[in-house]
Amino acid sequence: MEDTNFMTPISSFLTDKKVGVIGFNARPIAASLRRAGAESYVSDYWGDSDLKEVSTDCIAVLTPVPGIRQRQPLDIPLHLLLIENFSILTEGMELDYIMVGSGFDDNIEALIPLHESGLLVGSEPTHMRNSRNFSLLSNLMSDELLNIPYRQDIHSGEELLQKSAEIDFPFLIRPSHSGGGSGINYVHRQEDLVRIINRLSIVDEQLHLILQQHIRGKDLSCSVLSTGTEARAVSVQGQLIGLPSAGRNCDFVYCGNIYPSGLDSITEQKIMDVSENLSIELGLKGSIGFDFVVDESNVIWLMEVNPRIQGTLEMIEIAGNISITEQHIRAANNDLIEEIPPLSPSVKMIVYSRRAGCITSLSSFPNTFDKSPIGVLVNKGDPICTVINSGETRLECYLKTHETASDIQRSIVSINDE
């Protein structure tokens, strides 16, 4: 069962406002809006069992059916389906605002009609697109005396062989459009490269991959509120990537966050300063995020900009007395929060199944969110739910979260056991 303190209402100008929400996982935004007293009308991918609990009305790409695997192939691109569903859900409705979560970072053109409606809160599509332009970011980073990994677009196996000779092993080959670290290949030696090139020889002509330098170090993110001309960093937190205790096998999949970051104060302040400066230079508005790696020599590398509300939203709200959705709207309307409230140590962990099986009830597990519905089937590596804990120390939060994640793994009924 959830800690009821996580859902304590706050006083907000959002009370009774009607807010549309669109995103791959839109439930955390809806939960934040509910705490702020707003109505939310949500277009989401997963259709988790707790989405209906926190939204006024919702529509999901997936329709969970007992005995069927939850994640299914799509006939049209996900970002278009999310918007199409949103249009159906809100037809004839007078909304006050529209908020966007993940799923559109590399498909920003799809947001233009929403921006032209005057309801979309946050950065303009042009500024969002610029934030994903790595050539532009590289120029901006040189002013900050920081680094950005070597990246090259790849459209064939021959091109991959040619361009990979320009960098050292190990390196990464990743999809041009992906989220959460999925689909990334780690190329450690020549044999790995040959195997991937042989596989690419049988794919279609629309191939588009990214060859990227691999930076080994601490994965981090910085959450920022920005008006486009002024910015304030909210927090710097560690990122949990490929975490075995979350059910992954040391890959590149996003598994959550941990706060505080564990960095020294000078490096953390540098990350906050850079994030604020880039927010302003890019003209970004609202709640935005920056992903970094700090390598073994304490050099800071910018990995990515997420020009919208991030996955850290709920963890930050649980850790401190702040509504990110309210501050997102305020910042986008040139009303920047003066001081960030203190945040308690906290951990967010996405739990991925270690085996193919059937979801049982998750209601008995504390502080769980994004709950997969009872009876649906998961493959090894599919997400089950999210666990979030806040407490006195970083270690305490992690151990508590790890224990709950382990219990959840044991609750999955293996298909072979049936």
Read off the CATH number of the domain in which 284 is found.
3.30.470.20
**pLDDT of 11:** 62
Q: Is residue 138 part of a domain?
A: no
**CB proximity list for 253: less than 8 A, separation 6 or greater:** 180, 181, 182, 241, 242, 352, 381
DSSP-derived letter for residue 315 is H
Q: Are 235 and 343 in contact (CB under 8 A)?
A: yes
| Final residue of a structural domain among 213, 243, 259 | 213
Contact 106, 132 (CB under 8 A): yes
* pLDDT given for residue 159 in this prediction: 87
Same domain, yes or no: 247 and 373: yes
Record the tokens describing residue 366, joined without a space.
Answer: 């504390």
> Are 314 and 196 within one domain?
no
Look up residue 147 and give its DSSP letter.
B
**400 and 336 housed in the same domain:** yes
**What was the pLDDT predicted at 5?**
42
User: How many independent structural domains does the chain possess?
Assistant: 3
Q: Which residues contact 243 (CB under 8 A, 6 or more apart)?
A: 255, 256, 349
**Coil, helix or strand at residue 132:** coil
Looking at residue 231, its pLDDT comes to 98
195 and 227 in a single domain? The answer is: no
Q: Is residue 135 part of a domain?
A: no
**270, part of any domain:** yes
Of 77, 99, 120, the one marking the end of a domain is 120
Backbone φ and ψ of 378, nearest 5°: -120, 145
Whole-number Cα distances in Å, 380 to 71, 72, 166, 270, 353: 12, 15, 36, 39, 5
Q: Say what the pLDDT of residue 336 is.
A: 98
Q: Which residues contact 401 (CB under 8 A, 6 or more apart)?
A: 347, 348, 349, 387, 388, 389
Confirm whether 295 is domain-assigned.
yes
Determine, yes or no, domain membership for 179: yes
Q: Does 128 map to a domain?
A: no
Do residues 174 and 75 both lie within one domain?
Answer: no
Residue 129 lies in a domain: no
pLDDT tens digits for 87-98?
999 999 999 999
Judge whether 21 and 101 are in contact, CB under 8 Å: yes
Q: Give me the pLDDT at residue 207, please.
A: 76
Note the pLDDT tens digit of each residue in 80-126: 999 999 999 999 999 999 999 999 998 999 999 999 999 999 999 99
Cut 0.95: pTM above it = no
Q: Is residue 262 part of a domain?
A: yes
How many of the other CB atoms lie within 10 Å of CB of 80? Answer: 12
| Pair (81, 205) in one structural domain | no
For residues 81, 83, 88, 89, the Cα torsion angle rounded to the nearest 10 degrees is: 110
- List of the chain residues with pLDDT < 70: 1-11, 143-145, 178-179, 200-206, 416-418
Crossing angle for the helix pair 134-144 and 265-282, to the nearest 10 degrees: 130
| Domain containing residue 182: CATH number | 3.30.1490.20
381: region left, alpha or beta (phi > 0 left; psi from -120 to 50 alpha): left
> Structural domain of residue 369, as residue ranges?
217-417
Question: Tokens representing 181?
Answer: 């670290």
What's the pLDDT score for residue 272? 97
CA distances from 238 to 53, 255, 265, 347, 369 (A): 29, 11, 14, 9, 20
Q: Residue 175's pLDDT is what? A: 84
Query: For the stretch 382-411, what's the b/e string if a residue is b when 16 or more beta carbons lie within 10 angstroms of its beta carbon?
Result: bbbbbbbbbbeebeebbebbbebbeebbeb
At residue 322, the pLDDT reads 95
Q: Tell whether 255 and 372 lie within a shared domain.
A: yes
Say how far apart CA 74 and CA 77 lie, in whole Å.
7
Does 261 share its domain with 345?
A: yes
SS3 281: helix
Residue 62 tokens, joined: 């997936």
Number of helices (H) and strands (E) in the chain: give both, helices first: 12, 19
Phi, psi of 184 (to 5 degrees): -90, 130
What pLDDT, on the 0 to 100 scale, is given for residue 302? 95
Among 172, 189, 213, where does a domain finish?
A: 213
> Does 288 lie in the same domain as 315?
yes
Tell whether 172 and 67 lie within a shared domain.
no
Q: Encoding tokens for residue 332? A: 């986008």
Residues 363 and 231 in one domain: yes
- Are residue 177 and residue 243 in the same domain, yes or no? no
Domain CATH number, residue 85: 3.40.50
